Structure 1
Amino acid sequence: MTATATPAIGDSADRRRRIFAIFGSSSGNLVEWYDFYAYAFTALYFAPSFFPKDDQTTQLLYAAAVFAVGFLMRPIGGYLFGFIADKFGRKTSMMISVLMMCAGSLAIAVMPTYHSIGGLAPVLLLLARLMQGLSVGGEYGTSATYMSEVALPGRRGFFASFQYVTLIGGQLLASLVILLVQQSMTDVELRAWGWRIPFFIGAACAVVAFLLRRALHETSSAETRARKEAGSLSELFGKHSRAFLIVLGYTAGGSLIFYTFTTYMQKYLVNTAHMNDRTANLVMTAVLFTYMILQPPFGAFADKFGRKTAMLLFGGLATVFTVPLMYAIGGVSSPYAAYGLIIAALAIVSFYTSISGLVKAEMFPTEVRALGVGLAYAIANAIFGGSAEYVALWFKNAGVETYFYWYVTAMCAIAFLSAVVMADSRTHGYLRGEEH
């Protein structure tokens, strides 16, 4: 927008514009992550249809491997959509990514099983996951950048926290849909065809998100997009390599522990704590709702006490408490106790997730911001976040499940060290003084 078209920061028209922008951009974020997590939450039901093995852990291991491979497309998506966002606009990038996610979700919804087409079925499933991985790889960086740029100065932590509100909301929506399907169908129906319903719903919601995103205003200027440095890898790695490495460090630990206590936790409750799948899903639905509403208060905490303080608390507490919490959850018998323990873990993670995108955005200038945020996040997320379920199940299959707890702890220690060396955004940060 031009200077004459943009209302003064803080007036009511400007505030409404920013709230709509947060809502519009985050709606697509919700749909993207709903579709992505629909796969994780339905894996218990469709795994036998694509991987015909007798042992449930083996089937889940194969399904988790496909989930992890989808993450390998994220660095490509992070680069591609980061380049588009920096060179052609945040809005354009976000519209393309949500349409691509829609296509991947619809493909899974109509996909034939192993019984119908044999070995081609898991191949097609893999291709659909690769498309979704490409889309989500681009979604995070662009939406994090957009929401950070459009947030009110002085309240950026609070406003930016809504990225993870909608990200977790996508998980929660997927969990709620699965819960409703579970309550209305038998196990036989669920495994035969009921698992397809969430993917159809995701494809339909993506159309709504696309229409909302079309109405958004652009936060990057034509002048910035026209610079030769816009979306340039040489600019990113030449002048901002230190920031890139810091983001890699704390995203590795943050992504790993996030996926450990969200998507993997459902299977951990079933396979290790020996809960039935319906009870585990109820617990995780309650957990995700609570976790979602924790994000704005933790974002406001970061506004008051500083992003660096929040990141230090995350890294330090996660390093100390991951192992005892995993042991306690693995031996729990009460769903209420499981809920309390997982929420305790996710309260620690909230120091990171509430400001995750904002902290990254503050470390890069406008012309490479979406690229820097998206690519660094996607690489760390692909290697450590996407492999969380697979690594956990692999250790369990090998009879050394507790090794996974220490692996998560080690990565959180790296996140803590990254927070130690990062600059304090209250005195340093590229978003300081920017107005959109």
Structure 2
Amino acid sequence: MSNAEHLAKDRTPDSVHPPSRLRQLAAASIGNAVEWYDWYAYSFLAVYFAEQVFPKGAGNSLVPLLSTFAVFAVGFFMRPVGGLLMGAIADRRGRRTALTLTILLMGGGSLLVAVTPTYAATGLLAPLVLVLARLVQGLSVGGEFAASTTFLVESAGPGRRGLFSSFQYVSTTAGQLLASGTAALLAALLTEQQMGQWGWRVAFLIGALLSLLGLWIRRGAQETLPQALDAVPAGETPKAQRSADRPGLFEALRRHPRQSLLICGITAGGTIAYYTWTTYLPTYAQVNAGFDKGEALTVGTLSLIFFALLQPLGGLLSDRIGRKPLLLGFSLGFAVLAVPLLHLVTDTFVSLLLVQCAGMVLLTGYTSIAAAVNAEVFPARVRAAGIGFPYSLTVALFGGTAPYVGTWFKQAGHADLFPWYVAALCLVSFLVYLTLPETSRQELEK
């Protein structure tokens, strides 16, 4: 048997060698959780390593922390680039190849953060290493959604795309909880001085090691893209096959502009609601209602656990009744209720917990099926890149900026406008969802 035939056998599509659904689900979910652990560990531990990496400004103790979060933002805006590049790799070389590459990049980025020198020892090299590490991580996490979304949905059995889709946010939330839990445990076991000197590095070393676990699991997964075959069909040269089967970098944008804009419309309301309710709400309660910081973090943790448990239920429901009812319920619910819900936030534990959990019930109508809805928009040939770039760009513009916009409204003396901003974007997505065909019963386009 020739080398090409061996390779063809190894990468034959699922129709010949059906993959283990559980192994496929684990490859996407565990790897995704590791990705998001590494991503969120930075924000949870920034307060400890800020002064190690950035020098203080004259008379301003906040300069190191502000500089650290500026680097966080730089990583965020690398996500569209990652979505485009890693998505293109997933469409050209296969989903498994892209998933392997994203987790290697994230693990490498975490290792770079862990070994970042101090400013006192190396001067400008310290912030430069940190910036490089965050750029690598931003590239990775931008490509992760594109690759894991397509891989999850393409791995699903008949009538189970919604259920498999839901594990995108189950694993994302698990990674976030693991990062916050690791940071809290280290802070409890070590002194403040130890955390500032070396304790924060431990969390990033753990992330690098977890990436190796994710890499091992993903290497055992089976490819879901038939066009990713590197083997040569009879009578055809490798060069001819590559030129025929592999899309160009911007093919999705060039040939499917309407679908690309559709991904932006699908995502806008979902990402602002997601980052407001899962990330910014504890801060919103502190700034606008004088809520205790420690209790706000406790509420956030409890509500994230509740949110993760809801996701498979939402995915299963969409497989039974369709995607549109959940999307319309989510977007109309937030368009109508975002303002009253945020106005209900007071300085009491119960009020914040109820508001956050109520929002997460509505939010599940989007998050549990976002992967399936996006994947069902594009054909397999350009699915990953078609999703990756417009999705990541929309998240960077509206989701990643949600805390900044909310704080800006407060500083400008118009804190009441932020809930209306959330409601308006959800209304835009509601109008987009009205135009979508119901795809839950349709075969995934090859």
8 Å CA contact 2:117–2:125 kept in 1: the answer is no
**Shift in CA distance, 240/407, structure 1 to aligned 2, threshold 3 Å:** same
Residue 38 (structure 1) aligns with: 41
- RMSD between aligned alpha carbons? 2.6
Structure 1 CA distance, aligned partners of 2:412 and 2:63?
12
Structure 1 CA distance, aligned partners of 2:276 and 2:270?
10
8 Å CA contact 2:310–2:361 kept in 1: the answer is yes
Instruction: Give unmatched runs, 5+ long, in structure 2.
Output: 1-11, 231-241
The TM-score with structure 2 as length reference comes to 0.86
CA shift for structure 1 position 236: 1.8
Amino acid corresponding to residue 372 of structure 1 in structure 2: G
Q: Please give the per-residue CA displacement for 1:247-268, whole angstroms capped at 9, x wherever unaligned.
A: 1112122112211222333433
**Shift in CA distance, 236/2, structure 1 to aligned 2, threshold 3 Å:** closer
2:347 to 332, 336, 345: 332
> Is residue 2:115 matched to residue 1:110?
yes
The TM-score with structure 1 as length reference comes to 0.88
* 3-state secondary structure, aligned to 1:350: helix
Structure 2 CA distance, aligned partners of 1:26 and 1:235?
28
> Is residue 2:220 matched to residue 1:215?
yes
Residue 10 (structure 1) aligns with: none
> Is residue 2:168 matched to residue 1:163?
yes
2:390 to 360, 372, 376: 376
Amino acid corresponding to residue 373 of structure 2 in structure 1: V
Amino acid corresponding to residue 94 of structure 1 in structure 2: L
Residue 235 (structure 2) aligns with: none
Name the larger-Rg structure: 2
- Paired residues in the alignment total 422
1:257 to 267, 270, 273: 273
CA shift for structure 1 position 409: 2.1
**Shift in CA distance, 313/99, structure 1 to aligned 2, threshold 3 Å:** same
2:24 to 11, 18, 21: 21
CA shift for structure 1 position 367: 0.4
Residue 285 (structure 1) aligns with: 301
Residue 243 (structure 1) aligns with: 259
Alignment of 1:125-144 (within 5 A): 125-144=130-149
* 3-state secondary structure, aligned to 1:261: helix
Structure 2 CA distance, aligned partners of 1:221 and 1:150?
12
**Shift in CA distance, 148/239, structure 1 to aligned 2, threshold 3 Å:** same
Structure 2 CA distance, aligned partners of 1:270 and 1:121?
33
Amino acid corresponding to residue 253 of structure 2 in structure 1: F
**Shift in CA distance, 171/309, structure 1 to aligned 2, threshold 3 Å:** same
> Is residue 2:420 matched to residue 1:415?
no
Amino acid corresponding to residue 281 of structure 2 in structure 1: M
* 3-state secondary structure, aligned to 1:364: coil
* 3-state secondary structure, aligned to 1:161: helix
Residue 98 (structure 2) aligns with: 93
Q: Please give the per-residue CA displacement for 1:313-335, whole angstroms capped at 9, x wherever unaligned.
A: 11111112222222333x2232x
1:343 to 339, 357, 378: 357
**Shift in CA distance, 313/55, structure 1 to aligned 2, threshold 3 Å:** farther
**Shift in CA distance, 157/227, structure 1 to aligned 2, threshold 3 Å:** farther
8 Å CA contact 2:227–2:381 kept in 1: the answer is no
Matched-pair identity in %: 41
Amino acid corresponding to residue 379 of structure 1 in structure 2: L
Residue 56 (structure 2) aligns with: 52
Q: Please give the per-residue CA displacement for 1:189-247, whole angstroms capped at 9, x wherever unaligned.
A: 44444333321211110010001111011011147884646433554234422121111
8 Å CA contact 2:56–2:62 kept in 1: the answer is no
Structure 2 CA distance, aligned partners of 1:152 and 1:208?
26
8 Å CA contact 2:169–2:367 kept in 1: the answer is yes
* 3-state secondary structure, aligned to 1:252: helix
Structure 1 CA distance, aligned partners of 2:75 and 2:410?
22
8 Å CA contact 2:319–2:440 kept in 1: the answer is no
Structure 1 CA distance, aligned partners of 2:105 and 2:228?
28
CA shift for structure 1 position 302: 1.1
Structure 2 CA distance, aligned partners of 1:297 and 1:201?
31
